[in-house]
Structure 1
Amino acid sequence: MSFLWLHLLVLPTAFALDRLIGDPPSLPHPIRWMGNAITSCEPFFRNLFKNEKIAGTLFALILISGCWLLCFLLLMAMQWIHPAVGFVTEVVMVFYCFSSKSLAQAGLDIHKLLASGQVDQARNAVAMIVGRDVQSYQADDIARATVETVAENFVDGFLSPLLFAVIGGGPLALTYKMVNTLDSMVGYKNERYLYFGRAAARIDDVANFIPARLSIYVIGLAAQFSVLKSGCRALAVARKEGRNHSSPNAGHPEAAFAGAMGIRLNGPNYYGGRLVEKPFIGMRFDPPGVEHIKIACRLMLRSSEIGCLLAWGLGVLLQSVL
């Protein structure tokens, strides 16, 4: 499939599918297969090399390159059968990389629980989507964690795979998801993965470096073309406070969301029983409340629409040039 077709048909079709059906649990999902591959291969590479850095680096590189090769060969085979079969295959590949609807649904489910006073159930739900200790969280703490997750995962769950799909189609988008899945499973700074997972964490940082920084402009546009009308404030806070985060990338979309909604995010959190001091983002604002979860979900969905539109526009531009 040509580069032009990728922009003009594959991306909007995959995006429409994501917004239509999200991530039905009944469907097989390649991310689960990636997780199974990571779990199965880890002991082999640990036993192969005594040096955990070397073992972890080869582990990450082989899984990432293997994912791309497998997806590329599959797409070539489907295109050889018929271009229409190849088109459908690539649409499915890219569709599985988008998670805007499922992310919004997770946030709205937590909002519904909090709005009905079911704090314990909301705490259990937020524990499924964040990596911090939430045992002592009350309603406002849960709201803040949910908003932060929606903001941060706009990049991981949509913008990054979108940009990789623009560059290299479905195979590269799925390869990005392998990078992201590796980081989520082994990219921890704990005793088990401090050295073995370091390469996976660094590769994920590199993969998200540009998308995270581009996200502030996409979020700014979304904030401006919404009831918030706060695009300039989103950009201003993102530029000033986007680096106020322990992650090299997560602070940028969080700061854009903080500015867009006029709320304070981030700050100290406990991870694995250890207090991690993090600076606040949106220092001059008040902390978010339960009502901000719905606003964040709407802003994320609008940002995904604008991101897809910009990618489609790039395809149109290429058509006019070529």
Structure 2
Amino acid sequence: MTPAASNLWLLVIALGLDAAFGYPDAVYRVIRHPVVWIGSLIRQLDRQSNRPAWRRWQRRIGGVVALLVLLGVVFAITAAIRALLRDVPYGWVVEAVLCASLIAQRSLRDHVSAVARGLEQDGLAGGRKAVAMIVGRDPDSLDEHGVSRAAIESLAENFSDGVVAPAFWLAVGGLPGIALYKAINTADSMIGHKSDKYRDFGWAAARLDDLVNLPASRISALLLILACLFTPGTSSRDAFTALERDAGQHRSPNAGWPEAAMAGALGLRLAGPRRYASGWVDDHWMGNGNADATAADIRKALRLYRAACASLGSMAILAAIALTR
């Protein structure tokens, strides 16, 4: 079997394992999660390489060096694990489990479902509590519609960052490929901010994250458009129209693609002006529908998301079969 076919079958199994089991809480309590281990290394590099007394160019160089060290360590460990497992009977099962732990398909669904459930059972207070677990904006500034939009936007963006992008880099590079992607993405989330502390030190991480997420953001938008064909109450035509018109208007070079497709598909307006802990963001609206989203819209978005995940898995299976022949 060629390496490309092997990676695709690994992806198929990893997607299935994640969809079925996610990352069990019992495992997390014992050994935490690979992203937590990566985060610990990033914090250590931050302490050593991001000195307050340094000039801006020194911090930028420190950030580049820290990122290279992070990626070198992650690659060395995962490449060694892959080489070791290939000499072990059924080592591919362990490799698939490791890859599955780096895909957020089930956990994303569970976290967004919790927002809808919170709104339905406990009203605005329940929705705010649940949405605070998945977004960085100030939950106390959100009304019911703001909570619902935040959950749907998080679902769209993280479908790209947490599901499609890991799947793409797994297909490209196997276990090292998906692990390197998660390291970059975690570094961006921790140090890729525009605060005084990280504007220069996190510059390399933020730029590299934009680059590695570029393919997945486009693929995720197309998957959402395709998923409309299997999700009643959604529109692939409106999704494509919103994507074409609004994706490039988002402040992120990537997030606008899945968010615009999701907005058009659901007949909503997403993104737009909003408040984060760091301050107010005056962003462009995605879609031209109704901004008064509700828990029912979150449920519809989740149905679209499940169809998009199923489409991703089906394409991986077809590609794996084609390359195996």
TM-score interval, smaller chain: over 0.9
| CA spacing shift, 1:240–1:288, aligned 2, 3 Å | same
* Aligned match of 2:168: 163
- Contact kept, 8 Å, 2:269 with 2:285, in 1: the verdict is yes
Is it true that 1:315 corresponds to 2:323 in the alignment?
no
Q: In the TM superposition, what are the counterparts of 1:113-152 in structure 2 within 5 Å?
A: 113-152=118-157
* Aligned match of 1:5: 6
| CA spacing shift, 1:12–1:267, aligned 2, 3 Å | same
TM-score under structure 1 length normalisation: 0.93
| CA spacing shift, 1:143–1:284, aligned 2, 3 Å | closer
* Aligned match of 1:76: 83
- Separation of aligned partners in 2, 1:209 and 1:233: 22
* Aligned match of 1:30: 34
* Aligned match of 2:72: 65
- Separation of aligned partners in 2, 1:301 and 1:65: 35
Deviation at 1:31, TM superposition (A): 0.9
* Aligned match of 2:20: 20
- Contact kept, 8 Å, 1:93 with 1:171, in 2: the verdict is no
Count, aligned residues: 317
Could you say what secondary structure the match of 1:275 adopts? strand
Which among 90, 93, 107 is matched to residue 95 of structure 2? 90
TM-score under structure 2 length normalisation: 0.93
- Contact kept, 8 Å, 1:246 with 1:278, in 2: the verdict is yes
* Aligned match of 2:43: 39
- Separation of aligned partners in 2, 1:30 and 1:45: 22
* Aligned match of 1:205: 210
Deviation at 1:54, TM superposition (A): 0.5
Amino acid at match of 1:58: V
- Separation of aligned partners in 1, 2:197 and 2:316: 40
- Separation of aligned partners in 2, 1:71 and 1:301: 30
- Separation of aligned partners in 2, 1:104 and 1:17: 15
Deviation at 1:93, TM superposition (A): 2.2
- Separation of aligned partners in 2, 1:206 and 1:109: 31
- Separation of aligned partners in 1, 2:34 and 2:291: 40
- Separation of aligned partners in 2, 1:302 and 1:119: 28
Amino acid at match of 1:23: Y
- Separation of aligned partners in 1, 2:233 and 2:126: 30
- Separation of aligned partners in 2, 1:25 and 1:303: 26
Structure 1 residue ranges without an equivalent (≥5): none
Structure 1 range deviating more: 311-320 or 140-149: 311-320
Structure 1 range deviating more: 258-267 or 225-234: 225-234
> What RMSD, in angstroms, separates the aligned Cα atoms of the two structures?
1.8
- Separation of aligned partners in 1, 2:263 and 2:269: 6
Could you say what secondary structure the match of 2:26 adopts? coil
* Identity over aligned pairs, percent: 31
